[in-house]
Structure 1
């Protein structure tokens, strides 16, 4: 007879934080690409999706997952590289928010670079932990 231990909701989130963060990064990429395409096609809908509040909330959530998952990773495996790569990605994402939304695509490109680095940091963290 096997006994299964119950994991609290917070414990489940902590044990799956890197995977959740990678998924969030993917959603961010979809949002950025969709916003850029919609901006080109429908200026009204694109303008609504490019509202700065979406970016501010998204970056705040990404920073929260980064602190939780990457910080937990440092404590679990002791490697700084995943957290460093993830922090670089967060920094690039934050810097991209200061670029103009002029339709040049520069802000989108830098955001995608940052999101990709953040996802890589979480993937490195996940691999080092398990």
Structure 2
């Protein structure tokens, strides 16, 4: 039974990495598009997008990284991901603009690194 659960956790870790990358892309593209074109800020910078994104990141990280920490008994993925989620949470309190983008990008990079570290014992190169 344990073996059948590992592929699901691995897929969720990979989804977390993908979502982290999409979030960073959203931050950078939003600033560039709004700065260059001057339209769409009411939708692109909507606080609801960031709150929902943080909620999704929290759920995926809690399940996969928590599951991984219990499974392989390593703290590094958990600590790195929680630091990233803290940065992402701090970005919600920052004003829209570069400050928020920098905090969010640092956060999603750390969450993504946490997922990578969580996958590491299961990657073929690590065996």
TM-score by length of 1: 0.85
Instruction: Give the equivalent residue in structure 2 for 1:121.
Output: 114
In structure 1, runs of 5+ residues without a counterpart are 1-6
Instruction: Output one character per residue of 1:16-56: Cα deviation in whole Å (capped at 9) or x when no partner.
Output: 11111000101101111111111202333133200001001
User: Do 1:77 and 1:129's aligned partners in 2 also have CA atoms closer than 8 Å?
Assistant: no
Greater per-residue helix proportion: 2
Of 89, 92, 97, 2:84 maps to 89
Compare CA radii of gyration and give the structure with the larger one: 1
TM-score by length of 2: 0.87
Instruction: Output one character per residue of 1:42-90: Cα deviation in whole Å (capped at 9) or x when no partner.
Output: 3331332000010011100000000011011111100011011000000
1:32 paired with 2:27, answer yes
Instruction: Give the equivalent residue in structure 2 for 1:70.
Output: 65
Whole-Å separation in 2 of the counterparts to 1:119 and 1:47: 28
User: Do 2:10 and 2:119's aligned partners in 1 also have CA atoms closer than 8 Å?
Assistant: no
1:52 paired with 2:55, answer no
In structure 2, runs of 5+ residues without a counterpart are none
- Aligned CA RMSD, in angstroms, stands at 1.6
